[in-house]
Amino acid sequence: MSQSLAFANAWNLATTLMVCVVIFRTGIGGYGVMPSGEYDGDPAAILHEFDPFQP
């Protein structure tokens, strides 16, 4: 998925599910989104973390 779509999806997931969500770079040049509690990949691949509890 593109970077802009990943950011839009991450923000939507974080605010809808009320969980922290990370955006990470995949090995094939794309971007992925998942809850940060489930992410066990390379910490250097994380681009941004959305926390719905932060103002």
- Give Cα separations from 51 to 7, 13, 27, 28, 29 (angstroms): 13, 10, 24, 26, 25
β-partners of residue 33 are 23
Chain segment 11-34, per-residue pLDDT in tens = 999 999 999 999 999 988 899 999
**pLDDT band, residue 1 (cuts 50/70/90):** confident
Tokens read off for 35:
């809850």
